[in-house]
Copies of this chain bind each other. A is one copy, B any other.
């Protein structure tokens, strides 16, 4: 059982928050996307007993416990709420299920009639177990550990709602967005409203930072990228800032490539996640000059080769370490990652001196 430590919010003692505010700390803050996950034996144990994956997300005792596991084991500087980006469509009334090894399956929303069955009426109530988890975490986390809330971005969440599952080429949603822009705009607008409400409620319950995951932003040309990634993100950021001006927002438009430059200039995010394909020096010279960056070790390298991984960690630290920087992966940690590789990663980041 964890001891209950009261959290002083926005404490400048938290190196993660300090860095997000654009300050250099003595140490580089560190956390890993999907750090509460299947690579941890203690996670697999809970997962086994939790029933369905959604049940794990919706049961505060389980979700709190798995969020805390990687903090206990590795002492990361931030904990991220354990949940899934698809609880948002689920709470809107779009049926979601997860089948082992198959990924998510959703009722598809591709016309006005299907859209008309979705609603915000029961939205926050449906998600109340998630807010309970956030509240538990705010109480149970060590005082130096920041608490991150999150949501999927409207475009990425919409890919699942339109395609019905994880896609390869995203042709169905791209076709729909070109052929029925009015309908698609309504769907995105609903997701902007829902996501804004969801994140504000997480902050109200104790999240100190929020991250927007736009995992599939990289499949869009520049005009749709502006319409379906930048504009919705900008609205969500504005909605959150209107209520909570001091809560930092991290955007993670995976695969955005060159379109990342417009994203950081136009959305209003406070920091940006860097995926593993982006060249380090380009990011340092074109992105980190504008705001703190977070990234970008290839999770496949972390799983595959300790020696080359350590070298790359050191290269990343040497490139970004002199300005506000948060060490992370460039995508979520993989289930088959050996624990000892993560231990070496943590040790390497902790031993690094500016």
Q: Which A residues lie at the B interface, using CB under 8 A?
A: 166, 168, 171, 174-175, 178-179, 218-223, 225, 255, 257-259, 276-280, 282, 298, 300-301, 303-305, 308, 312, 330, 334
Contacts and interface: CB of A to CB of B under 8 A. Distances in A.
Given A221-B330, A257-B257, A298-B221, A179 B304 contact: yes
Contacts of A225: 277
A298 B171 CA distance: 11
A175 B304 contact: yes
A219 B255 CA distance: 9
Contact of A258 (B219, B221, B282): B282
21 contacts: A171-B334, A174-B298, A175-B303, A178-B304, A179-B305, A218-B218, A218-B255, A218-B277, A221-B276, A221-B298, A221-B301, A221-B330, A222-B277, A222-B279, A223-B312, A225-B277, A257-B277, A257-B278, A258-B258, A258-B279, A258-B282
A219 B225 CA distance: 19
Nearest to A311: B223
B277 A221 contact: yes
Instruction: Return the 3 tightest CB-CB contacts between A and B, nearest first.
Output: A257-B257, A178-B304, A174-B300
Nearest to A173: B300
Contacts of A220: 277
A40 B308 CA distance: 49
A225 B257 CA distance: 14
- State the copy count for this chain: 2
Given A178-B305, A257-B258, A298-B174, A277 B168 contact: no
Nearest to A171: B300
Contacts of A303: 175
B178 A301 contact: yes
Nearest to A222: B279
Contact of A259 (B218, B279, B312): B279
Contacts of A301: 178, 221
Contacts of A304: 174-175, 178-179
A171 B304 CA distance: 10
B277 A219 contact: yes
A31 to B, nearest CB: 20
A301 to B, nearest CB: 5
A69 B278 CA distance: 41
Contacts of A257: 257-258, 277-278
A301 B171 CA distance: 10
Given A175-B300, A221-B276, 10 more contacts: A175-B304, A178-B305, A179-B304, A218-B277, A221-B277, A221-B301, A223-B312, A225-B277, A258-B279, A259-B277
